[in-house]
């Protein structure tokens, strides 16, 4: 079904079964598969491929060379009925690739709203991305990665499969992210090492100075305390019941995960 208000260049191919919303613009030499849904006001500039069971949210803009909704690159993947869902108001720049999920792990890749994907970044199968995230040029997310709201990943960084990247964290360019990164954390290097808190990002988010000082103290107690990271976090929890950002970090550490935690020392810690 194609809305009457959609503007489609005659050189583009829209396969039967695709759903094209109101005021969608599809430029030259695009290919839209039969199971694709493009929400209202979506714009595809040119030479964009959207295939698979892919839904693209309203007002998302996709630049030339992007391939959205391709099958998982997992060697053990069956492509049956797997999906990719992209939220509203995303910007997907040149050469970006995003894959559908795998049957073996729930079958769904999910991308939230208001995200910016710079050129040639990659979102692999079964990833879960929140809102207001920035993936800079050539960022590579392996399968099953979780990236929480407002995280920023610097150019050329790579994230290991099943890793969690916490809310409003900052990953430096060319970093290798092998272990979970706490909310508000900063990680740099290869191998990636936690180098403190994203204080600039916290300030821009409106977190006051007194709260930032509390979170810094909590961070030191967690990573410089006498026991393991998780034991230290559990021991100080009651001190920070009135500090939501600190509690967010403590809850993140306490949650079950496939990966260890990034730390200020080389490698991960328990």
- The domain ranges of the chain are 7-144, 202-269
Q: Quick one: pLDDT at residue 268? A: 59
Residue 28 to residue 46: CA distance in whole angstroms: 5
The pTM is what? 0.96
**pLDDT confidence of residue 204:** 94
| Known catalytic membership, residue 126 | yes
Residue-wise pLDDT tens digits, 236-248? 999 999 999 999 9
Residue 143 annotated as catalytic: yes
Structure tokens at 225: 């305390």
The CA dihedral of 125, 128, 129, 135, to the nearest 10 degrees, is: -30
* Catalytic-labelled residue, pool 70, 112, 143, 192: 143
DSSP-derived secondary structure letter, 181: B
Distance CA 164, CA 187 (A): 13
The catalytic residue among 47, 77, 122, 125 is: 125
Place of tokens 């492509």: 79
CATH of 7-144, one of 3.40.50.1370, 2.40.50.140, 2.160.10.10, 2.60.40.420: 2.160.10.10
The catalytic residue among 77, 126, 130, 180 is 126
State residue 80's pLDDT score: 74
- Tokens 């099958």 belong to which residue? 71
Q: What is the pLDDT of residue 53?
A: 97
Q: Pick 103 or 55 by higher pLDDT.
A: 55
Interval 31-41: pLDDT, tens: 999 999 999 99
User: What is the distance between the alpha carbons of residues 83 and 159, in angstroms, rounded to a whole number?
Assistant: 21
Are 29 and 10 a contacting pair, CB within 8 Å? no
Give residue-wise pLDDT tens across range 202-255. Answer: 999 999 999 999 999 999 999 999 999 999 999 999 999 999 999 999 999 999
Q: Is the pLDDT of residue 117 over 80?
A: yes
| Least-confidence region, from 42-46, 47-51, 71-75, 184-188 | 71-75
User: What pLDDT, on a 0 to 100 scale, did the predictor assign at position 266?
Assistant: 61
In the annotation, is 180 catalytic?
A: no
The answer, yes or no, to whether residue 106 has pLDDT greater than 90, is no
What CATH number does domain 202-269 carry, 1.10.3470, 1.20.950, 1.20.1180, 3.30.460?
1.20.1180
Specify the 3-state DSSP secondary structure of 5: coil
pLDDT at 78 over 70: no
Same fold, 7-144 and 202-269: no
> Does the pLDDT at position 267 exceed 60?
no
- The pLDDT of 138-149, averaged and rounded, is 98
pLDDT category of residue 104 using cuts at 50, 70 and 90: confident
Burial class (CB in 10 A: 0-12, 13-18, 19+), 195: middle
């Amino acid at each position: 079904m194609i809305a009457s208000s959609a503007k489609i260049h005659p050189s583009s191919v829209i396969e039967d079964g695709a759903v094209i919303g109101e005021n969608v613009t599809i430029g030259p030499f695009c290919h839209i598969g039969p199971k694709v849904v493009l929400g209202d006001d979506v714009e595809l500039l040119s030479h964009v491929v959207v295939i698979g069971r892919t839904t693209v949210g309203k007002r998302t803009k996709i630049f030339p060379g992007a391939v959205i909704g391709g099958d998982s690159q997992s060697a053990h993947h069956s492509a049956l009925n797997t999906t990719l869902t992209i939220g509203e108001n995303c910007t997907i720049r040149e050469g970006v690739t995003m894959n559908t999920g795998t049957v073996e792990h729930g079958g769904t890749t999910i991308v939230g709203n208001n995200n910016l994907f710079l050129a040639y970044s990659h979102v692999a199968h079964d990833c879960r991305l929140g809102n207001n995230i920035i993936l800079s040029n050539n960022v590579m997310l392996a399968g099953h990665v979780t990236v929480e709201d407002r995280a920023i990943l610097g150019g050329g960084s790579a994230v290991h499969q099943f890793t969690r990247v916490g809310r409003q964290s900052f990953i430096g360019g060319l970093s290798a992210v092998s272990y979970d990164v706490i909310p508000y954390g900063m990680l740099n290097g290869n191998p990636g090492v936690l180098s403190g808190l994203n204080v600039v990002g916290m300030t821009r988010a409106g977190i006051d100075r007194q709260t930032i000082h509390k979170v810094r103290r909590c961070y030191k107690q967690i990573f410089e305390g006498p026991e393991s990271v998780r034991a230290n976090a559990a021991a100080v929890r009651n001190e920070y019941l009135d500090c939501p950002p600190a509690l967010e970090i403590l809850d993140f550490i306490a949650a079950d995960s496939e990966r260890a935690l990034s730390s200020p020392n080389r490698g991960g810690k328990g």
